[in-house]
Amino acid sequence: MAGLAALLMACCMAAMHIAVAAGLAAAGPVRIWTVMSAGGLLLVYGLIRSGVSKRWADPSLTLAQIVYAIACNAVAYSIGGQARGIALPILAVILMFGMFGLSTRQMLGVMLYALAAFAVAIMAVELRGEPGHSPALSAAYGIMTAVVLLGSTFLTTRLQATRELLRRQKHELARALDHIRDLATHDELTGLLNRRHMLELMRLEQRRVARSGHQLTIALLDLDHFKAVNDTHGHAAGDRVLRAFAQAARQCVREADVLSRWGGEEFVLMLCNTPPEAARALLERLREAVARLQVAAQAPDAPPSASAEAPPAPLRITVSIGFTLHIPGEKIEDTLERADQALYAAKEGGRNRTAGRLKAPGGPAAQ
């Protein structure tokens, strides 16, 4: 932008010197004006190129460049002689730069500043009383200056409003996309990953394990007697149990582990780069943490029942866990099936326990 501004200013300098060559303006003031204009451009270029301007709130120096350019433009009007009319379209071009870097308040300030600068320039022309000068022409120039400033400022403020609207819409769209993505990959009740996304992650991890040779353990977790909770205390209590379990499980697993809600009261835990012995220890800690949970049978904000003498006792829940080691080369569905068999063994063994079903390649299953 600074380079484009410098190019436009160079064109303005060339136009002024053409006016001098044609005898429409005095050479001395135009030369001094050229030196001052070029000096301002070089100063801005040096500040931006050296990186000094990065320390300031406006590193592109947009406002400073516009203020200085308007001052140069007003001076060009006052010394332009019979060619001073070329200053007006240049003023419109200067204001266009504010469309991309200035706020509405700044643009209004620039407009008032430009009106004042050109009022001083027009008065200076009137006081000098140049030969052949017409006050009516100065009045016409003053009116056109006001028209250019008001029109450019109005268009700039409209553009700023449009940009702000687009920015808000973009932000709202990004939030909506994040929400949609979250709904597509997470369970709304517990906040855990849903079944579809978990399957995708397990297949990705399956391919990574095939390349790296790391161990991958898959665990199926099922809340014991969950149907009885829903039947006795209602689905709202069941939802509180699911949320409490998800929170307790998240606190027990590591950051690298992935927990998902598989369906109903069943959950899947993927333990990456974890041998079965370490997996069993982690799952035991999780099982014990769940057994210590106490979940309110009644919502905290629910009105007390008239027939109940005391609030119902908190709910105690337990979880049964089956886990297995993924064998490189097998389908992830086969690993899940083996984990499900281990979970069935935990249920058959009395619930609230952890069972593993391990299988060496080509060998018998072992519990």
Tokens of 109: 């300030």
Q: What is the DSSP letter of 189?
A: T
What's the gap between Cα 179 and its chain centre? 13
Cα(33)–Cα(67) distance, integer angstroms: 16
Residue 284 known to be catalytic = no
Going from the C-alpha of 256 to that of each of 197, 208, 216, 273, 339, the distances in angstroms are 16, 14, 12, 9, 20
- Contacts of 134-143 with C-beta under 8 Å, sequence gap 24+, read 141/77, 141/84, 141/85, 141/88, 142/118
Amino acid at 6: A
CA distance readout (Å), 11 to 25, 86, 91, 95, 121: 17, 11, 13, 16, 21
CB 150 within 8 A of CB 142: no
- From 164, 265, 330, 333, the catalytic residue: 265
Q: Rounded to whole angstroms, how far apart are CA atoms 32 and 44?
A: 19
- Alpha carbon distance 324, 357 (integer Å): 5
Q: How distant is the alpha carbon of residue 287 from its chain centre?
A: 38
CB proximity list for 236: less than 8 A, separation 6 or greater: 299
CA distances from 49 to 7, 8, 150, 273, 361 (A): 16, 19, 33, 50, 65
Residue 92 and residue 139 in contact, taking contact as beta carbons nearer than 8 Å: no
Using DSSP, state whether 225 is helix, strand or coil: coil
Please answer whether residues 12 and 76 qualify as being in contact, where contact means their C-beta atoms are separated by less than 8 angstroms. Answer: yes
Active site residues: 265
